[in-house]
Structure 1
């Protein structure tokens, strides 16, 4: 990439002028355009900060594809798991204020907290809630959070953790977790004397001036300018799980419930990269260092070694840490249905950038993030969007058949007679009640607390599977009956999102269908 000094302008909605950057606007624009075109995104927002100044801000697409309302730098996106760093910053502010310690036992603040192993529940500290070292399977219990809407509460989360069986010893390794961030939010509430949603506004949004960020309950017509998630159907982007008039507070808020604009997120990364004035006093140096200190080793993937010459990977408090081409990198991604985000910081270079997408953008996020990082760590004209997109396609082509979804296109209808020995109402100790009962001339599975998990049972080869009614629930589930009065579930596609943690369910038959 060639370098230059061009004055860059933020979008008209922000009214803020950007400073000259280290890379020509035309070069970054070309990368932006290539990603939008290659992945046919409904909307994309990208911003770059260098040396404490916004040097690039650009948006494209629509709040809802086809409706004509354009995305701008004030548009709200779901930042998903980038919320986690805001939750840990809230906790760090409480530590600075002397209201909390990282090594406090969780039970000091939440006496009813339990894990499957009672000893683990007693020994777990606040810091353990944040670094994915619980021993639980990745995404364990996430079916209490997603798909939304559902009726699980934070009390249900705390209760359910006692029934989730670990797959390894406590503190023995890294497995990504969401539920314990819900617990962390409740610890913050207990120590801070206010609900989580109020705390994060008080401790993060207000002091940093993140004026449009939203969490908890709010009205869409009052706030306005809110991007909606999309899913791909053939050649089209279809809005999915669109907001109603009132956006309710959700159980998952501390793990992934914040929405912010590009302008807000650029303010956020500016507070980390080169804090001055109020930002510098917002958090102590000691707590800034704690949040970015390696707390739990993470697997160093082959991609990281080959693409980035990385030598270490670790999780801090709400941040992922690694080295890229000899440069320290601090990063987190966010993924919800139809919404993808990425925050990347290169502190030694004074650089950070934000990516926000309101469509199915996993590969787009990966490719765009990778090309942008290389602009600063290893400038090379061959490291293009096409280059990294091609590497992803090669990875997919080489994936073993055991890691790919089986062909289930040939399906047979299932009747109540076919499943007669197994019909009834079942219960799992953390997920609750599901019914497997006749529905007309079919059999339907219904989850009582998660109404989107409703679907017709079909036969694919020798196995039963559930075809969910809502197409946005894209991870179909196998149904198995290992013993009389028992039912288990598993992902049909082994590469489906780990939050579809069907494998953690163990249902026991309770009574027949009414």
Structure 2
């Protein structure tokens, strides 16, 4: 295992001869910012760049909530989603520095009741394995316990549910992104640190680093103020989805993706990583030892090197550290992560050799916008002579999507028709999956058949027929993709499995991991 800091960067530094002197923000950055807002009609955007320890670009636009006139600024709080993972890893690293745990400690040392599906894996799983996506679970396994939000799952449900999730691969054989084991990591930290996960994050990270606007756990939206709301799209317009209540509750997935921060906070976070000998000193002492900084940026698990990475960035490797993705772009090292939640997208990109950090926060479903904007900003520094902006990368994605559409296996479901109770003889009833809990497939007062989850209220919808198959047409547009329903009526009790109608849909819609058995009649 080579550390990103000592091996990959040594190789990459030989490839890169470009040096950037400190300078005021380039007007070209404004052009990238403006083009992204205009092309994608973003309700709100915050972008910041640090170089050589200083903030050289900081700009915001739009509203926290469309139609309110409340402007986004550098202190507006956004959901950073999976950028929380690096913070969870850093808390664990702090505990390693304090001698309270070791990376190769078995998880059961801290959580004796913890179980994976395979008893041998249960005993062999180390703290480090919780962070590097090599457990053997399929991508997104168990994510339906985390979202769509809100739901009624608790952290204990997630830990218990992991014991029922069958592995897709052998242990430590390959990379497959997961969120649920980060929740376990948060509980290990809590046990080793002697305080709840949320308290640890505040104590070990927010307070010493001065991340004044970051929030985790329960807090009051009105008291804190200046909070961006998530947006989706309806008739090509941004609309608020899943708006925050006045009291924002603690959520099970905090350690995987539940932290919120402002642009200023994220820039401070970036500065700490890029200048540990200055920004990373707390009371004259390192906030994190060099040994643990190296551990966090070590290439622990190899990741696939995509066609896009090779063609866009001339990348040579791709790997996952502790809460960070590691690769190279145009001959320089890149440490980064993205964050994705319904209605909120984030990206944090560090170019350590160039001492550059880039933060992008968007309060909308905006995957392409995040990709294009981040790419254009990174290339501004790694390949400035190419002068490739938003339009260039947007058009490249359009070509990719055209090719993907031509090869798509997505079945046409436009012939769907509502299913009446009489058409589902023997299949109506209450079903139970050991980790997801109960769902009811029952007739409503009008005689139409519906699907309703007990613990995930957003997962409700009409059961429809498409030819010989049944699917769920979800009521909420927060559901990423519809689901096929497949009944085995010959089994005793009757069994139900589900699958994405779009095989290429987001892995967090992990319907394929559900295995229901009928437990009773409709109530």
Map of 1:113-262 to 2, 5 A cutoff?
113-262=114-263
> What TM-score results when the alignment is normalised by the length of structure 2?
0.93
Residue 383 of structure 1: aligned partner: 388
Map of 1:480-499 to 2, 5 A cutoff?
480-484=486-490, 485-499=494-508
CA distance in 2 between partners of 1:248 and 1:384 (Å) = 40
Give the match's secondary structure for 2:45.
Answer: strand
Residue 470 of structure 1: aligned partner: 476
Give the match's secondary structure for 2:280.
Answer: helix
Residue 403 of structure 1: aligned partner: 408
- 1:22 positional shift: 3.8
Give the match's secondary structure for 1:293.
Answer: coil
CA distance in 2 between partners of 1:284 and 1:365 (Å) = 32
Residue 60 of structure 1: aligned partner: 61
On the 8 A contact 2:480/2:509 being kept in 1, the answer is: no
- 1:492 positional shift: 1.3
Q: Which shows bigger deviation, 471-480 or 215-224?
A: 471-480
Map of 1:272-311 to 2, 5 A cutoff?
272-277=273-278, 279-280=280-281, 281-311=286-316
Residues 329-353 of structure 1, C-alpha deviations (whole Å, 9 max, x = no match) = 0000000001000000000000011
Q: Is 1:354 the equivalent of 2:363?
A: no
CA distance in 1 between partners of 2:467 and 2:505 (Å) = 20
CA distance in 2 between partners of 1:70 and 1:288 (Å) = 37
CA distance in 2 between partners of 1:42 and 1:513 (Å) = 43
Give the match's secondary structure for 2:185.
Answer: helix
On the 8 A contact 2:271/2:279 being kept in 1, the answer is: no
Q: Rate the CA distance shift 1:277–1:328 in 2: closer, same or farther, 3 A.
A: closer
Give the match's secondary structure for 1:408.
Answer: coil
- 1:410 positional shift: 2.4
Give the match's secondary structure for 1:421.
Answer: coil
Q: Which shows bigger deviation, 243-252 or 144-153?
A: 144-153
Q: Which shows bigger deviation, 340-349 or 429-438?
A: 429-438
Residue 363 of structure 1: aligned partner: 368
Residues 281-318 of structure 1, C-alpha deviations (whole Å, 9 max, x = no match) = 10001000100010000000011111111110000000
CA distance in 1 between partners of 2:25 and 2:150 (Å) = 44
Q: Rate the CA distance shift 1:22–1:199 in 2: closer, same or farther, 3 A.
A: same
CA distance in 1 between partners of 2:26 and 2:381 (Å) = 15
Q: Is 1:443 the equivalent of 2:443?
A: no
CA distance in 2 between partners of 1:290 and 1:27 (Å) = 36
Residue 80 of structure 1: aligned partner: 81
- 1:381 positional shift: 4.2
Q: Is 1:419 the equivalent of 2:424?
A: yes
**Which 5+ residue runs of structure 2 have no aligned equivalent?**
1-20
> What TM-score results when the alignment is normalised by the length of structure 1?
0.94
Residue 9 of structure 1: aligned partner: none
Residue 27 of structure 2: aligned partner: 26
Give the match's secondary structure for 1:435.
Answer: strand
On the 8 A contact 2:346/2:360 being kept in 1, the answer is: yes
Pairs aligned (count):
495
CA distance in 2 between partners of 1:206 and 1:318 (Å) = 20
On the 8 A contact 2:376/2:388 being kept in 1, the answer is: yes
On the 8 A contact 1:455/1:469 being kept in 2, the answer is: yes
CA distance in 1 between partners of 2:477 and 2:423 (Å) = 25
- Cα root mean square deviation, aligned: 1.3
- 1:376 positional shift: 1.4
- 1:278 positional shift: 6.2
Q: Which shows bigger deviation, 310-319 or 268-277?
A: 268-277
Residue 428 of structure 1: aligned partner: 433
On the 8 A contact 2:25/2:57 being kept in 1, the answer is: no
On the 8 A contact 1:21/1:56 being kept in 2, the answer is: no
CA distance in 1 between partners of 2:357 and 2:318 (Å) = 19
Q: Which shows bigger deviation, 70-79 or 377-386?
A: 377-386
On the 8 A contact 1:374/1:380 being kept in 2, the answer is: no
**Which 5+ residue runs of structure 1 have no aligned equivalent?**
1-19
On the 8 A contact 1:320/1:331 being kept in 2, the answer is: yes
Map of 1:453-464 to 2, 5 A cutoff?
453-464=459-470
CA distance in 2 between partners of 1:210 and 1:249 (Å) = 19
